[in-house]
Amino acid sequence: MQDHITETVIVRHLAFSKSSFSDVCEWMKTQDPHAPLWMIEAVATIKFDTIEINYVVHFSHDARTVIYSSGSSGVRAGDRSSGVRAGDQKAVRILSNWLIDNGWKRPEPSHSEADSSRDFWKELWITGVVDSMYLQSRFGKRRIFDEE
């Protein structure tokens, strides 16, 4: 019998008691009604299988989301490939789907993240999991998404 696989995204910040973009905007208005421009830095934890991965993410007033750093915990021993922690690709896909489902824009890696694991982020960008004007300036337009 196969176990049910659970994928979980948890964002550690008071604004995310509800995770939708509109709910976070409402929460931010209660904090400072005269500040239409805001950014929240929070840790997003993605859990699946036996893996737990944390990302520092900036959530902005315009629904933009930027991944600034990542680090795994609870990863199975020996799970590494090409310098990128095993599970990171699936975790970013889970995070991207969660963000879009909750009204946020598709995430983008920060410039430093994109440079530190260029092939990893390029593959996620080419397949449309993440967006990135920075990667587009490096590699040109994506055929699948940008030419439509």
Q: Averaged over 94-123, what is the pLDDT?
A: 94
Angstrom distance (rounded) from CA 86 to CA 67? 17
**Number of domains forming the structure of the chain:** 1
Q: Averaged over 99-127, what is the pLDDT?
A: 94
Q: What is the pTM of this model?
A: 0.83
Reported as a single tens digit per residue, the pLDDT across 121-137 is 999 999 999 999 999 99
Kindly state whether residue 73 falls inside one of the protein's structural domains.
yes
pLDDT at 1 over 50: no
Q: What is the model's pLDDT at position 51?
A: 84
Angstrom distance (rounded) from CA 135 to CA 133? 6
Kindly state whether residue 2 falls inside one of the protein's structural domains.
no
Going by pLDDT thresholds of 50, 70 and 90, the confidence category of residue 3 is low
The domain in which residue 25 lies consists of: 8-142
Residue 114 · residue 134 · CB < 8 Å: yes
Reported as a single tens digit per residue, the pLDDT across 30-48 is 999 998 999 999 999 999 8
Determine what percent of the chain is predicted with pLDDT higher than 90: 59
Q: Which tokens is 99 given?
A: 């963000």
Kindly state whether residue 99 falls inside one of the protein's structural domains.
yes
24 residue type, one letter: V
pLDDT at 119 over 60: yes
Kindly state whether residue 1 falls inside one of the protein's structural domains.
no
The angle, 0 to 180 degrees and rounded to 10, between the axes of the packed helices 118-126 and 88-101 is 40
Going by pLDDT thresholds of 50, 70 and 90, the confidence category of residue 85 is low
Kindly state whether residue 148 falls inside one of the protein's structural domains.
no
DSSP the chain: -PPPP--EEEEESGGGGS-SHHHHHHHHHHH-TT----EEEEEEEEEETTEEEEEEEEEETTS-EEEEEEEEESPPTT-EETTEETTHHHHHHHHHHHHHHTTPPPPEE-HHHHHHTHHHHHHHHHTTSS--HHHHHHH---HHHHT-
pLDDT, averaged across the chain = 84
Q: Averaged over 70-91, what is the pLDDT?
A: 58
CA dihedral for 6, 13, 72, 87, sign (positive or negative)? positive
